[in-house]
Amino acid sequence: MPLSRYAGAALLALAVATVTMSPAAAAPEAAEVNYVALGDSYASGTGAGNYSDAACTRSRNAYPALWADAHDPASFTFAACGGAKIPDVLSGQVDDLDEDTTLVSLSIGGNDSGFASTMLSCQYSTRSACERALETAGEYVVNELPGELDSLYATVRARAPHAEVVVIGYPYLYKEGGLCLGGLSSAKRTAVNQGSDLLNETIAGRAAAAGFAFADGRPAFSGHEICTSDAWISSSNIHPTAEGHKSAYLPAFSAAVSGT
């Protein structure tokens, strides 16, 4: 408490003479951040160019690298790799986690549910073939993916017990309605986006059960899907562009990280 204005002059002089600033009285420093980025091509930056690792398509334009550039963490390990599935994260990427890890980002589940083959069916086959592929993927997402995510998330927590973990969701790939020259029919686009909803809802639910934050990619890319005039997702490789990482994924991830 401050000294009363009625305190004697002698007492005030004594206090001034004896009080010194100690290290404990100084403003506390921000805790060190040791950040590890895990996941698949949507985390590594496939399609975003400026690759630091061509084999894994790790891009300097990807949101993990951009976040690290902006916040200068004490350490940054970019383990995400294009094409990764949950077993790949478990067999290699989680080895970069330890008790000193304070922040983890994770994007995974799309490849496990057959993203590549489903998109090929929807791009080059009939509507019925597209819908069958999405139905098969949906069965996996409902029946198998939750348990696989639970196992992965438990491993992440065990290896990084003190870390804040942010799970990143997938965006809608296509604008719905209207014409899309050179793109999918309106019916196919709606079906693909419905598949995105199912995948994201499953991932978000299991992340919440594990106590992890979830950054939703759907609102982040809203108005910038394939078939819009300013798309941040490439229609050729169906991945976020450099602008998509900078203007959509990076803000979504940053908002989910406490204190940023």
Q: How far apart are the first and last CA of the chain?
A: 33
* Residue pointed to by tokens 């020259």: 181
SS3 201: helix
Give the neighbor-by-neighbor strand order of the sheet with 164-168.
Answer: 75-78, 34-39, 103-107, 164-168, 213-215
Catalytic, out of 107, 121, 196, 239: 239
Write the single-letter amino acid at 113.
Answer: S
239 is catalytic: yes
Q: Could you give the CA distance from residue 42 to residue 39 in angstroms, rounded to a whole number?
A: 8
Q: Which position among 22, 41, 162, 196 bears the catalytic label?
A: 41
- Which pairing describes strands 103-107 and 34-39: parallel, antiparallel, or unpaired? parallel
Supply the residues annotated as catalytic: 41, 239
